[in-house]
Amino acid sequence: MTIALALHGGAGTLRRSDMNPELEDAYRQGLERALEAGHAILRAGGSALDAVCASVCALEDDPLFNAGRGSVYNLDGKQEMEAAVMDGCRQDAGSVTGLAQVQNPVRLARAVMENTPHVTLGFAAAEDFSRRIGLPMQPPEYFHTDKRWQALQLEKERIANGGGDDDIPEDRKHGTVGAVALDAQGRLAAATSTGGRTAKWAGRIGDTPVIGAGTWADAHCAVSGTGHGEYFVRAAVGHEISARLRYLDETLASACDAVVHGQLTPMGGTGGVAAVDRFGRVALPFNCEGMYRAAIDGEGRKLIAIYRDENQR
C-alpha cells in the first residue's frame, strides 16, 4: 500500500534578503499544516481527492499564500479567484474562475465536478451556484491583506513607469497553491487554487482552471502548476507531463524536467509543478529562485522546502 502527497504554495518566493526567520517559520508551518491535513486522510485510507482538497483548503485559509484568503488583486483592485480539481481514476474534472466571495474555491471546483453537467463555471453564475449549495461565502474584507494591496500599488507604479515583465520581483509575479496525491487504492488526484497574478486584467483566466494546463490527473500521474499562467496554458503543462509518461515511457522526474526546463524555460515562462506518479514518486521542479513546497513520497520521505538550494526532488 503506497500513499504519497506533494504540494506547493507557489513558485516565486520572497527573496532571501526580504525573508526573516519568523516569516520563514510561518511559511514552513503553513506548508506543514497543509501536508498533514492531506496526508492524515491518506493514512486513514481516504481518497486522493479528499486529501488534495483538504491540503488546498488549508492553504486557501492561510493568508500567507495567494489563494482564497490572501489572494492578489487585479488591475481594478478586485480579487478574482480560480481553482480546479481533477480525479485521475475517473478522469473527471471541475474548475471555477472569477470568484470574489467563495471562502474555499477548491470546494466549489469539486462541486462543479460532482454536481453539474459541466467542467468549468465562472463569475457571478459560479458564485450563485456556490450560494445555492450552501458553501461558505465571505465579504471582501475576509480575503484582504495589506501585503497584496501594497503589491498592486507597486505593480501599477511599475507599469506606469514602462517597466517590463523581467523587472518584477518573483514574489510579486507568482503564487498559487496546489496538491497532488496517490491513495492506498492507487487513485491519483490534483487540486489547484489561486488569486492569479497581481494586476492581471479583470476577467483574465489563468492556467489553474484550465484542465491540462495548471491542473491534471489521470491513471499515470497528477500535476499541479504554479507560475506564469499564460505559458502553462500555451505548453499544456499538466497534460504534456502525463503524455511524456505514456508515450515516451519517461520517469516522472524526467518528464517534469523536460516540460519545466526544456519547454517553459526557453519560452520565457517561469514557475514549477508538484507532481506524483502511480508509484508514489514525487517531483517538484521549478525554474525560479524558489517554490514553497512540501511532500511525503511513497517511501515515506518528507520534505518541506522553500529555496532552490534546499533538497530538490
Residues 4-33 that bind ligand ASP (CB under 6 A): 10
Question: Does 238 contact ligand ASP by CB under 6 A?
Answer: no
Rounded CA gap, 261 and 45, in Å?
35
**47 versus 192: smaller Cβ distance to ligand ASP:** 192
Does 196 interact with ligand ASP (rule: CB under 6 A)? yes
Closest CA to 213 of 201, 196, 230: 230
Q: How far is the CB of 178 from ligand ASP (least distance, A)?
A: 9
Which of 69, 110, 172, 197 lies at the binding interface for ligand ASP (CB under 6 A)? 197
Cβ partners under 8 Å of residue 91, min gap 6 = 217, 218, 219
| Residue sitting closest to ligand ASP (CB) | 229
Bridge-based pairing state of the strands 177-182 and 4-11: antiparallel
Task: Calculate the CA 191 to chain-centre distance.
Answer: 7
Shortest reach from residue 181's CB to ligand ASP, in Å: 19
Cα angle value 229/231/233 (rounded, 5°): 70
Compute how many other C-beta atoms are within 10 angstroms of the C-beta atom of residue 254. Answer: 14
The one segment of 154-162, 226-234, 261-269, 300-308 that binds ligand ASP by CB under 6 A: 226-234
- Amino acid identity, position 308: R
Interaction with ligand ASP in 172-191: which residues (CB under 6 A)? 174-176
- Out of 59, 226, 288, 291, the only residue in the binding site for ligand ASP (CB under 6 A) is 226
Looking at 13, 97, 176, 208, which residue is catalytic?
176
d(CA 242, CA 87): 14
- Please report, as ranges, the residues that interact with ligand ASP according to CB under 6 A: 10, 174-176, 194, 196-197, 206-208, 214, 226-229
